[in-house]
Amino acid sequence: MSAEVPQDRPARQDLTAAGIALVASRGEAAQAAAAMLRRRYHFAEEREARVLVALGGDGFMLHTLHQMLDGGEARPVFGINRGTVGFLMNEWRLDCLGERIADAKAVTVAPLSMRARTVHGDEWTHAAINEVSLLRETRQAAKIEVSLNGRVVLPELVADGVLVATPAGSTAYNFSARGPILPLSAPLLALTPIAPFRPRRWSGAILPDEARISFRVLEPADRLVSAVADQFEVRDVEEVEIALDHDRSLTLLFDPDQALDERIAAEQFAT
């Protein structure tokens, strides 16, 4: 005779056949939620997964996606917010996880590719899902020459910095710097100055996503500048080149009523 399952404790749902694995940030809330989910569901091993459930905040989602870009296998990710902001995540619910993933709306995003050369001659390449930003390192404002597709379009920007954002990242640092919100499906990039001093009236530009954007730091030995691709920083840069990498797309999964494209559109009406 088989043992009966207590009425107040539902049988664990098996998600291994669907190839769904669970990963979680080290945060207390994420770890507690992971324990609850593991009591409710059987998950596949991460190495065998076809879909990842990521528990945490936006930072952990970016970390998970960057692991794929840095050599891991690209798989759709269903994020669940157990962190701070959670703009890239779905809301936390314990029930119906398999059904939510089956009904989820897939959103494809392409990362930026950054190539940075330092004043010491070192070269670094890194991807950015949200934005690449150049930021002054000292009390002195940065002086930066801006080129578009090999042509100088701004001989000298004097500012705290400048950034290039994807549509997915346009509601993050870009929006805080008064940059435009870009529809997720739009083939566009945002070029946004950070606290510009000269030229005062330049508020940035909206560029086609085929654009190649280059920055050359003027007086790089005295006015030190760092380049940051999402969470990866290169200090003392002299030149930075940025372009969208159409060959390395990533897939995020969202509940249909809370999809990323709808959230980005709604941000334009937030008060």
Just list the catalytic residues: 58
Task: Report d(CA 142, CA 220) in Å as an integer.
Answer: 9
Strand-pairing partners, residue 175, are none
Q: Between the CA of residue 196 and those of 183, 210, 254, 265, what are the distances in Å?
A: 25, 25, 36, 27
Asked whether residue 168 is marked as a ligand-binding residue, the answer is yes
User: With contact defined as beta carbons under 8 Å apart, do 168 and 130 qualify?
Assistant: yes
Count how many Cα atoms sit within 13 Å of the Cα of residue 189 in the half-sphere of its side chain: 26
Asked whether residue 160 is marked as a ligand-binding residue, the answer is yes
Nearest Cα residue to 216 out of 144, 162, 156, 155: 144
Asked whether residue 245 is marked as a ligand-binding residue, the answer is no
Asked whether residue 255 is marked as a ligand-binding residue, the answer is no
Asked whether residue 197 is marked as a ligand-binding residue, the answer is no
Asked whether residue 44 is marked as a ligand-binding residue, the answer is no
**Which residue is listed with tokens 């559109």?**
265
Asked whether residue 174 is marked as a ligand-binding residue, the answer is yes
**Cβ atoms < 10 Å from Cβ of 262:** 14
Strand, coil or helix: 11? coil
Asked whether residue 131 is marked as a ligand-binding residue, the answer is yes
User: With contact defined as beta carbons under 8 Å apart, do 254 and 109 qualify?
Assistant: no
Asked whether residue 130 is marked as a ligand-binding residue, the answer is yes
Strand, coil or helix: 215? strand
Asked whether residue 58 is marked as a ligand-binding residue, the answer is yes
Task: Report d(CA 96, CA 214) in Å as an integer.
Answer: 47
Asked whether residue 41 is marked as a ligand-binding residue, the answer is no
Task: Report d(CA 133, CA 113) in Å as an integer.
Answer: 12
Asked whether residue 81 is marked as a ligand-binding residue, the answer is no
Asked whether residue 149 is marked as a ligand-binding residue, the answer is no
Annotated binding site for NAD(+): 58-59, 63, 130-131, 160, 168, 171-176, 195
Show binding-site residues. Answer: 58-59, 63, 130-131, 160, 168, 171-176, 195
